[in-house]
Amino acid sequence: MRKLYCVIVTYNGMKWIERCISSLLTSTYPVHIIVFDNCSTDATCSFIQKNYPQVQLIRSNKNLGFGQANNAAIATALDGAADAVFLLNQDASVTPETLAQLMLSQTGSPEFGIISPVHFNGAATGIDINFLQYFRKSELDNWISSALLQTREQYSLVNTEFVNAAAWLLSAGCLRKVGGFDPFFFHYGEDINYCQRTLYHGFKIGILPVAVIYHDREDRFIRPPSAAAVLKREWINLANYFSDIRHEDFLKLVFRRQLRYLVNLLIACLTFRFSAARFNAAMMGKTLWAIPAIRQSRKFARCSNWYK
């Protein structure tokens, strides 16, 4: 039987951690659980130590961010001869069959470096809102969840170019070839970058409709985003665009985008739309500041690399 590790990165996760770990312990497929805690200030670590002695807990004295915390735990799993590593968010849980279904699928389709289950919401009443958009961008763009989950097609992998890292099954071969998460992306965007690199190195990314997780994050979609959040989201998208090594002429991309922001900035100033002017000026500044880091990111991404 192929050896499976599960990695959970926690940060103040008391609200979800019991459901998360307990669900893994009901798995029909044996799994070694590693929790990497990003210096939580709540009772997450003490709760795990008291209630789950079988879980390998790694405590960091600072918050490393999602990517680097996962890197440290994944390296531990690979040192333990893992054949595959399942990344699971602290606010997600699995069914007893999820891991077995994913492992069976990846064993039969080794060309898939990343396989994701379908993400239901935490209440199990429907598909997670954000996850649905990934399916719409996949080969099943006319997918209807309630119908698909009742057909034999649920056992077939669905090709996609991206699925978020809330529940990834990564093969050891993919991890050793592609490397770890890029530390340039501290929190958010690292999974987009990793998918880009996975495809660049010749692996496929798939969604397995028969496999399910529950992602408990509905309360995070209630409030509209602030101006700062919009700026952050735009920057993450832009940084991923620049870092995508499938785009060869990096500086040409930067020049074109800077020109667009400059034109928008001038128009905003002339029309007294100062919030828009500040936004475009900020994006120009962020881009110029990040060019050396993006260049380094693209350089490392072209070869097998473990980011430490």
| 239 and 211 co-located in one domain | no
Tell whether 30 is covered by a domain: yes
28 vs 92: CA distance, rounded Å: 18
DSSP for 185-252? Answer: -SSSSHHHHHHHHHHHTT-EEEEEEEEEEEE--GGGGSSPPPHHHHHHHHHHHHHHHHH-TT---HHH
Which tops the pLDDT comparison, 121 or 202?
Answer: 202
Q: Calculate mean pLDDT across residues 217-222.
A: 58
Position 144 scores a pLDDT of 47
Q: At 227, give phi and psi (nearest 5°).
A: -60, -40
The total number of structural domains that make up the chain: 2
54 vs 71: CA distance, rounded Å: 21
Chain-centroid distance, C-alpha 91: 13
6 vs 195: CA distance, rounded Å: 19
pTM for this prediction: 0.89
Position 264 scores a pLDDT of 94
Tell whether 222 is covered by a domain: no
Last residue of a domain, one of 182, 215, 248: 215
Mode of pairing for the β-strands spanning 204-215 and 92-94: antiparallel
Q: Is residue 141's pLDDT more than 70? A: no
| 161 and 241 co-located in one domain | no
Tokens of 289: 């500041």
Tell whether 42 is covered by a domain: yes
**CATH code of 154's domain:** 3.90.550.10
| 31 and 122 co-located in one domain | yes
Which tops the pLDDT comparison, 126 or 170?
Answer: 170
Tell whether 10 is covered by a domain: yes
82 vs 61: CA distance, rounded Å: 26
| 207 and 239 co-located in one domain | no
Position 127 scores a pLDDT of 84
Q: Is residue 2's pLDDT more than 50? A: yes
User: pLDDT tens, 229-259?
Assistant: 888 888 888 899 999 988 888 889 999 999 9
Q: Calculate mean pLDDT across residues 222-229.
A: 71
Q: At 117, give phi and psi (nearest 5°).
A: -75, 175
272, amino acid identity: F
Q: Is residue 109's pLDDT more than 70? A: yes
Chain-centroid distance, C-alpha 70: 10
Q: Determine the Cα angle at 156 with ends 151 and 159, to 5°.
A: 125
Contact 295, 182 (CB under 8 A): no
Quote the crossing angle between the two packed helices 44-51 and 17-25, to the nearest 10°.
30
Q: At 208, give phi and psi (nearest 5°).
A: -105, 105
| 188 and 233 co-located in one domain | no
Q: At 307, give phi and psi (nearest 5°).
A: -80, 125
Mode of pairing for the β-strands spanning 167-171 and 84-88: antiparallel
Top-confidence range, 90-99, 130-139, 285-294: 90-99
7 vs 86: CA distance, rounded Å: 6
Tokens of 198: 């996975």
Name the DSSP letter for residue 13. -
Tell whether 308 is covered by a domain: no
3-state secondary structure (DSSP) of residue 214: strand
| 167 and 203 co-located in one domain | yes
Tokens of 62: 């600072």
Q: Calculate mean pLDDT across residues 28-44.
A: 98
Tell whether 32 is covered by a domain: yes
Helices (H) and strands (E) in the chain, counts: 11, 9
| 43 and 126 co-located in one domain | yes
Domain range for residue 237? 227-302
Tell whether 220 is covered by a domain: no
